[in-house]
Amino acid sequence: MPGIFGLIRKRDTDREENRLMIEGMLSRLSHNTNYTSDLHLNDWFALGQISIPFAGEQKLTFDKEMDCAAAFSGFIYGWKDMTAELTAPTKQKAARLIAIYRKYPESLPEKIDGSFNIAVFDNKNRTAVICNDRFGHRQLYYFEDDKYFLFSTEIKAFLACPSFPRDIDMHGVANFFNYGYPLGDKTFFKQAKYLRGGHIVRFEHFQIAFKKYWDYNYGEASNQTIPEFVEEMDVLFRDIIRKRIDGAEQIAIPLSGGLDSRFILSHTVQAGKEPHAFTHGKKNCLDHKVARQVAQTLNLKHYGFIEMQPYWLAEFAEKFVFLSEGMNNAGPAALLGVSREYNLPPKSTAFINGIFGGPTNFGSPYFRSEDIVRDIAFEKKLQNLRRSLWGDLVGEEHYGMFSENVAAFFRDDYLPGIADEFRLQESVSEWFCNQKDVFFIKNRLGRHMNLVDCNRFIWHDHFPLADDTLLDFFIKIPVRLKLSRTLMTEYFKIKLPDLAKVPYQATGVDLYSKPSLWKRKFRGYYERFKHYGERITQGRVQFYNMRNYAHFSQWYRADTRVRNYFEEILLDEKTFRRGYYHREGIQKMLDRQRKGGNAFFTIADLLAFELFNRLFIDR
């Protein structure tokens, strides 16, 4: 995605070699014709940035007087806790970073209000600082050996370095096939790591050092009343949305049937803007029906529906895997087709994205009421996390797709993989519910959903629900107000009563009502009927669940272009020669999907990993 990249030579100097390598990194990141780039070259480091230009904003600079270079990616919306001359508005933001680094060398990222990655190089003292925001939503990867330290927003840039090994990290691959995404700092490359959110990387005295400057820390929950919480979050978000839309000629907002997108949209309208809202999915699905009511309630002038086409799965699969570097299933490839249909100018459009809502703002946590406990054995925690991951779906049929040795490795790595990452979250709170929430925020949200979001490669992608002030607010909310989106629901009733009358996609009823037990039971019976109907008819009849916006399993069976694309790759001799797979197991899974089973995401994982090998290992 657009971002910063560069290299540090740990021991020697070689300006020409640095030039060749930074230009090689740039060439591997230049996959969008709208991107512009800047480079700065030195004999011991090289620094670059590539981005969609935004209204003349400076993202890379070199200050000759201070002998410093700086660059950033993402967006800086303001400055925190500093003197007036360092908080005044400016488009010379890279230069401002140098001034802040000079005055506050130990706390640079804590002075920035934004969603960012930053690099500052002090040539005079031969030191450097690379850091990200608290969330780490704008990916930054790094590679280190005895000679180099490389960093980039996409791993593919490291392929420009002759010493970068293409060895596969089987623990990262095991995470992917066990849970659906790599955990923690793992990637598919053994030597490429993900920089976790809230971290600073320092280079001084010819050594690289990592420091965590921020983490979740749950103390006493606030005893504010619900109306007091509502007033506070209203003031906070008015300021947040204003910063995200400032200077944009057009505003694009994806609108679903959920609460986060209508919350963002209503605040954008209240700010006096006329955004373009889009809903995507199958025509007349529940998302479409609900979003249409939201648009009518807000009197939107620009609302459109984009019907997702099944063949987009085949058309965009390779591109999506190239962008996500294989670490996500191939299903979200269809979203590249959606983005193509917006028909707005990327350079002047702010894409206001609600993808990081829920567990980082006002509720919809990753825990349940039974998780609100303190005294629980570690093994019980692991089993709880297993059930919340893919534990019920990963069984012998799943492992049967792999060769005997690979399947055994994946099985053995399942619980240890969770344990290694979860231990890092236990210190955030004494309550298991908070530990579990942070585990999934950092992994399912921070790693998985980050890679689902391919819009950041195409648009000025802003995340208004991922903000430091909202995060501080979220941490102090009592857990009872997070369950069932209680606080968000009360906000709509108090501040947006007309929108509260519009049904919520997750429940099918408005925010003043509760879904009846009879309807929930009927829906469950109906879903089972459709499932068995597809199995009985051997997949020849498609039953679409209109509560969902996408129907991957049905599209796979109904569209021969999609089915042929998947099967030609997964049954190719080239695929089996890698030694990862068991032919009969994969054929069985493909047959199951053809004949009415819901195995799409399993085979979409297989496709993504095979395309990763073809794009990044074979070549």
φ, ψ of residue 31 to 5 degrees: the values are -110, 20
Confidence at 286, pLDDT banded by 50, 70, 90: very high
Say yes or no to pLDDT of 273 above 70: yes
Q: What pLDDT, in 10s, does the model give residues 184-200? A: 999 999 999 999 999 99
- Tokens read off for 453: 């979001």
For residue 393, give the amino acid letter.
L
Q: What's the distance, CA 518 to chain centroid? A: 36
| pLDDT value at residue 391 | 63
| pLDDT value at residue 543 | 80
| pLDDT value at residue 126 | 96
Confidence at 361, pLDDT banded by 50, 70, 90: confident
| pLDDT value at residue 413 | 96
| pLDDT value at residue 516 | 79
Distance CA 435, CA 79 (A): 30
Contacts of 64 (CB under 8 A, 6+ apart): none
Distance CA 51, CA 36 (A): 6
| pLDDT value at residue 542 | 81
Say yes or no to pLDDT of 520 above 90: no
Say yes or no to pLDDT of 467 above 80: yes
What is the side-by-side order of every strand in the sheet holding 302-307?
Answer: 302-307, 276-281, 250-254, 349-352, 460-462
Distance CA 334, CA 313 (A): 5
What mean pLDDT is predicted for residues 228-254? 96
Q: If you search the block for the tokens 């991951």, which residue do you land on?
A: 389
| pLDDT value at residue 90 | 93
Domains of the chain (ranges; CATH) run 3-212 (3.60.20.10), 226-362+455-511 (3.40.50.620), 374-430 (no CATH), 521-617 (no CATH)
Share of the chain above pLDDT 70, in %: 99
φ, ψ of residue 345 to 5 degrees: the values are -75, 115
Q: What pLDDT, in 10s, does the model give residues 374-420? A: 989 999 999 999 999 976 568 889 999 999 999 999 999 999 999 99
In 110-184, which residue ranges form alpha helices assigned H by DSSP? 170-179
Least confident window among 129-143, 268-282, 391-405, 594-608: 391-405
**3-class SS of residue 18:** helix
| pLDDT value at residue 317 | 98
Say yes or no to pLDDT of 91 above 80: yes
Say yes or no to pLDDT of 609 above 90: yes
Share of the chain above pLDDT 90, in %: 87
| pLDDT value at residue 392 | 59
Confidence at 109, pLDDT banded by 50, 70, 90: very high
- Tokens read off for 94: 């890279």
| Pairing outcome for strands 68-79 and 112-122 | antiparallel
Distance CA 210, CA 204 (A): 11
| Pairing outcome for strands 349-352 and 250-254 | parallel
For residue 186, give the amino acid letter.
K
| pLDDT value at residue 545 | 85
What mean pLDDT is predicted for residues 344-356? 93
Per residue, the 3-state secondary structure of 431-445, as one string, reads CHHHHHHHHHHHHHH
Distance CA 605, CA 589 (A): 12
Distance CA 39, CA 300 (A): 42
What mean pLDDT is predicted for residues 489-518? 94
What mean pLDDT is predicted for residues 39-52? 97
For the chain, the average pLDDT equals 94
Distance CA 437, CA 548 (A): 25
**DSSP code, position 69:** E
Would you say 503 and 293 are in contact if contact means Cβ atoms under 8 Å apart?
A: yes
Distance CA 455, CA 461 (A): 7
| pLDDT value at residue 486 | 95
What mean pLDDT is predicted for residues 267-289? 96
